Every structure is written in structure tokens, then in C-alpha cells.
Chains A and B, each alone.
Chain A
Amino acid sequence: MEQPLIQTRELSRVYQKDGTVGVAALTGVSVVIRRGEFVALVGASGSGKSTLMNLLGCLDRPTSGSVVLDGQEVSRLDEDELAEVRSRKVGFVFQSFNLLPRTSALENVELPLLYTDRPDLAGPARAALEVVGFPADRFDHHPGELSGGQQQRVAIARALVNDPEILFADEPTGNLDSTASDEIMALFTELNRQGRTVVVVTHDAEVARHAHRVLTMQDGRIVSDTAAVAAEPGPPAEEVVS
């Protein structure tokens, strides 16, 4: 069988509050994500979906359990080794776009390249902006001069510029109106169709409908996984969810 892109075993994350009492945000999560999947991670706020995304995306380390990303055990790597993995294999899109202010769209997309050995910054950045359908006449515009939908496209281009194995999006439409939301989700669908693995964290069922597989979380555990019903990725998720 093909090696999965991500495989976790008994993943737990406990946050230490006030030094003594631990709050378990994630308890014993074992999940497999295969290449080319489009996964929605849903659940109420505090259910642990962001914590799981942070662990899968190598932003954080588990209290216990293991994460194997693209064949590499990453749960015991130190901060800088994790940063290296993120640089090469992971792209992130955030709810509030997190673009640098007073910085052109192009330079925002160039940002991840600064932390690689790539000699050319502008070339890949332009290419990434074209992939997400960002208008070429606005490459020099600052975030403040762009609509929400355009800003999120810049953020997606930034996540793609290092050609990552997997794209994580945390409530990517949370700050957008419905039209822009539809456009952004259509973009994710298109990126997934081109072969990119996509994981979207959301509490919005509309957004989750675009995914092929929905993982529902509650109290730090995965309580439902549509892939358990449909073993192969492919069938539209809405059939199962709704």
C-alpha cells in the first residue's frame, strides 16, 4: 500500500495552565491522511481541531504519541528542525490572512522563500500568484488596498510558493463575505483537483461540504470520520455529512 502522507498514533496534547493543572486539548488521536485528499476538520470551538492542525502542520509538538509526515517522524524534532520541515513540506492559510502590512502582494508571497536557499524570489512568487488567479496589475499593491478575497488569494499564493506537500487552511473563509468564500473554496477545490493535499479547519458546514472527507472533533477526539464509511477518497462529502 502507498505510504500515507500523514499518519498519527495516539496523539495527545496537554496545555499546562498555571503550572500545575493540565488541560487536555487532544486525546489519543490516530488518523491517516493520504496524498491528494481534501479533508475538512470540523467541530465546535475548543474541540481540538486547531490543536490537531498545529500538530499535523509541524507548528507544535505533541505531549505524547507520534506524527509521521511524508515518512519522517516529526513529533520529536526541535523547533528549528520543525521550521525546516514547514519550510519544505507545509503551507498555511489563516483566517485573518496574516499578510505583512505596507508590503506589496508580491513581497508577501516571497516571504517563505527568504528562509530557503532559493536564489530567485520574484519568479516563484509571480508564478504562485498566477496559480491562485491574482490579477497581475495588483502585484505591487499593499494588503490595505486589496479586498478580503484578494488578500486571501495572496495568502494562499504564499502558502503555495514553496510547493508544499500539504496545504492547511484554518477557517480560511471566516473573514470573508459569501461570494468571496465561494471563490476561495472553489480555489481550494481546484488546487486539490491538481493533486495538492488540502486540510481545511472550519466550523462552517458550507465550507466542509467542499471536502471529500470530514473529520469531526469533539472534546479532543475524532468522533466521526467519513472515510471510515467511504474507504477511498472520492465521493463528495455532502452525501455523507448531510
Chain B
Amino acid sequence: MRTRRMLAQALRGLNRNRLRSFFMATGIAVGITVLTVVLSAGMGARERIMDRVRVFGFENMMVWAGGPTDQTRIGGGAGGGGGGEGSEITATLKLEDAEAILGEVRGVREVAPFSRAGQTEVRWRDRTFTSPTFGVTPEWADVWDWYVERGTFISHEDNQLLARTAAIGPTVVRELFGAEDPMGQTILVGGVPFEVTAIMEAKGTSAGGGDMDNRVFVPLSTYMRRVANVDYLSGIRVQVQNVRYMEPAAADIAALLRERHNLAPGMPDDFRIRTPTEVTAMVEEMQGTFNLFLIVVATIALLVGGVVVANIMLISVSERRGEIGLRKAVGARSRHIRAQFLAESVAVTFLGGIGGILLGLIGNVILERFTATPALLTWHVLAAGIVFASVVGLAAGLHPARKAAAMPPVDALRS
């Protein structure tokens, strides 16, 4: 029998037993709804974590001042907006350490030392804005892949001359200057006057949810001596030449810093090194746990749906003995009967799968409204829903179809 005719027969069979078909489709739809919601939520969460990893950059590591006490944030620093906060100020990480790392550690391409304060008052005329302020060197731009929109970023000369130049983010521009042109204007950063020489390109919201455009960047030397009055760094961002150098470079840096800081064996580090390897490992572990959970939930949901379909199909087969007998009497072979019931089972679960995806979309909207979990729906989720539903239909229909095909026509007609 032709495939199209067979499908038409299957759909007519389902149409003749609408209530039963509805129950079967619902059984599968529930399973696919769960699958869709869980899969979307999982992919959304994964995407959010990967965003953080991306901001961190795969060829970059962070060297933070302060021992390994409470630092668990992923991709902190300028991206996260407060990675080092909360730990005690450690005054041992120096600019010379950064120079030593660049000069002595193999595979290091660039270092960007910085010093910062989470909240500094920035003033222009009578307006004030509280901003995270960073003292940086020109390397900052390259290692963060973060450039100016207008003007010139902090230069080496600025650092040598303790220049009072500032590069400000778009949020700072909006809050302080409104419609006026900030270029060349003088702002007070922590009470110290700086000339605005650059406006940073918009970076938007960080993975952690913070505004990345509310920053003020000034020369590192000026910041340390004039604003913060410190002689130590908050951290150093280190870029390696190749991802391959990441782990050995991290080990070398640790050894170098211990030596330079005169730490005897047994003494804890007074710095922390965060590599993306570590971050991705953490992400993958979380992802693995989540995937397992997802597989378990989806399997249970689909198993339940499959059992419902298999049961109703079995009932359907025994209730339709007369139809089966008739079809055989007028010439249907066993394979025709088998194909018909299999097609019915797959068709009903296929339709149930589509229904489940639609319900899942609604579920996603509800989930997003009541939780902070963003749902990410890709074609993978849609395809998975349809494929799983159809496979369950095929598996659930196998036994009933075989049973129908094996019915002797005389017995089937007698009922």
C-alpha cells in the first residue's frame, strides 16, 4: 500500500476514535511539554554561564591580590564588576610583579595591571555620579577587547607623566553630561580633577547583570598616587599567546609571585589565579549535573506518555477486532495491518508532540515570569520534541500493531 494512503488511513482511524486519540496525544503532549520546558531552561542557563566565560576570554587569566579565601565568582574583575570585593585588602601585589610576569613567564603575551575602587564619586559642575573607577595601562584595551568610541585611550605617556586624563563610559556621559559634549571637560574623580579625553564604546550589561558602561578609567600611576593613594595593585589580567600555555603559565606565575613575595613553603598564597580552564571545568560540571537531571526528568515524562499510548493502543486493537478482521477479509496482509496501527501510533504522538511543544512555549513564558531563568528555545528543542514523541509512538505502537497483525481473520470477524 502506498505511504500516502497508509497515512490517510491512519489519520482516519484516529478521527474515528477521537476521544481515544485525544487521550493518547495528551499523554505524549505532557511529556513533551516537560521536555521542552526543561530543555529550554537548561539551554538558557547554559547560555548565561557561557556568556560569562566568553567575557572572561579563553586566553586570559586573572591574578587577584589576596589569598584564596572567598573568591568563587566566575569571570569577575571588570566584567563582573566586583570580583575582588569582600576580600581583605592585600598590599603585596605590585606593578613590578606585573612587569616580572611579562618578562619572565614563558607564553605570556601581555599583562594589564590595574587598581580600582568599587564606588568613587565622580563630579561635573553640580552633578555627581557614583562609578567604579579603574587605574589602568594602555594594555587594558587589548586584553579586554574594549576600545574607545571617541578620543584616545589611556597611553604610556599618560602613565609616565601622571597625566590627569580620563576615559568614561556611555552611562557616565549620560548621567553627568546629558546632551552636552564631555570631551575636554574637567571632572572630579574622588575629588581629583581629570580631563575627559575619551568615551568608551558601549559594552552593555555584563554576564553578572551589572552595567559595564558606568566605568571611569584613568592612568594607573595617577590613580595610585593621586586618587587611591596606594602602592599596590588590585589585580593583573594576563593574556597568553595560546590556550596551550595557560596551565604552565599559571603555574609559573604562581611560583614567581611566591618567590617575589618571599612566601616560605607552607605559607598560603597572597594572590589568586583564575584561569578559564578552571571556569569552564566548573561550568561543565554544573552542566553535567543538569543534563543528568534533564535526561531523568524527560525519560520519566516520556515513559509515562509511552505507557499511556501503548495501553490505549492495546485497548484500541481489541476493540477494533471487527475492523481488523474485515480489513483482512477484504485482502489486507499482516504488514498492512501492522503498518496501519504503527502509523496511527506515530501520527498521534507526532501530533501530541506538536501540542506539547506549544504547551512548552506557554510553560516557558510562565517560567520566565516567575523565575529569573531565561528560557532559550532553539530548533534543537523543537526537533528533539518531535523526534522523541515519534520515537515513543513507534515504540509504544510496536506491540499493539504486532498483536493486531497476528489476529486470525476468522477470530477477529467473530467478535
* B329 and A115 form a contact (CB under 8 A): no
Which residues of chain B from 1 to 57 have any CB-CB distance to chain A below 8 Å in the complex?
Answer: 1, 5, 9, 12, 15-16
Q: How far is the CB of B207 from chain A (nearest CB, A)?
A: 57
Contact with A along B391-411 (1 / 0, CB 8 A): 000000000000000001110
Which residues of chain B are within 8 angstroms of A115 by Cβ–Cβ distance? Answer: 1, 327, 330-333, 336
Q: Is B323 an interface residue (CB 8 A)?
A: yes
Q: Given A59-B413, A115-B336, verify A98-B326 contact (CB < 8 Å).
A: yes
Q: For the complex, give the distance between the alpha carbons of A107 and B333 in Å.
A: 19
Contact with B along A161-204 (1 / 0, CB 8 A): 01000000000000000000000000000000000000000000
Which residues of chain A are within 8 angstroms of B67 by Cβ–Cβ distance? Answer: none
Q: Is B334 an interface residue (CB 8 A)?
A: yes
Residue of B nearest to A80 (CB): B333
* A86 and B329 form a contact (CB under 8 A): yes
* A103 and B326 form a contact (CB under 8 A): no
Q: How far is the CB of B246 from chain A (nearest CB, A)?
A: 66
Q: Is B107 an interface residue (CB 8 A)?
A: no
Residue of B nearest to A97 (CB): B326
Q: Given A114-B9, A115-B1, verify A83-B410 contact (CB < 8 Å).
A: no
* A60 and B16 form a contact (CB under 8 A): no
Which residues of chain A from 209 to 233 have any CB-CB distance to chain B below 8 Å in the complex?
Answer: none
Q: Is A87 an interface residue (CB 8 A)?
A: yes
Which of A54, A101, A103, A116 makes the CB contact (< 8 A) with B331? Answer: A116
* B16 and A92 form a contact (CB under 8 A): no
Which residues of chain A are within 8 angstroms of B16 by Cβ–Cβ distance? Answer: 100-103
* A100 and B323 form a contact (CB under 8 A): yes
Which of A59, A84, A111, A158 makes the CB contact (< 8 A) with B409? Answer: A59
* A86 and B330 form a contact (CB under 8 A): yes
* B410 and A59 form a contact (CB under 8 A): yes
The binding surface of chain B is classed by DSSP as helix
Q: For the complex, give the distance between the alpha carbons of A175 and B332 in Å.
A: 26
* A59 and B329 form a contact (CB under 8 A): yes
Closest 10 CB pairs of A and B: A87-B331, A112-B330, A115-B331, A80-B333, A98-B326, A102-B16, A60-B410, A83-B333, A115-B332, A92-B329
Residues on A facing B (Cβ under 8 Å)? 54, 57, 59-60, 79-80, 83-84, 86-88, 92, 94, 98, 100-103, 107, 111-112, 114-116, 158-159, 162
Interface contacts beyond A60-B408, A87-B331, A158-B330: sample of 9 additional A-B pairs, CB < 8 Å, sorted by A: A59-B329, A79-B334, A88-B331, A94-B413, A98-B322, A98-B325, A111-B326, A115-B327, A162-B330
30 A/B residue pairs, CB under 8 Å, sorted by A: A57-B329, A59-B328, A59-B410, A60-B410, A79-B333, A79-B334, A83-B331, A83-B409, A84-B333, A86-B329, A86-B331, A87-B331, A92-B329, A92-B330, A94-B326, A98-B322, A98-B325, A98-B326, A101-B16, A112-B330, A112-B331, A114-B5, A114-B332, A114-B336, A115-B1, A115-B327, A115-B331, A115-B332, A115-B333, A162-B330
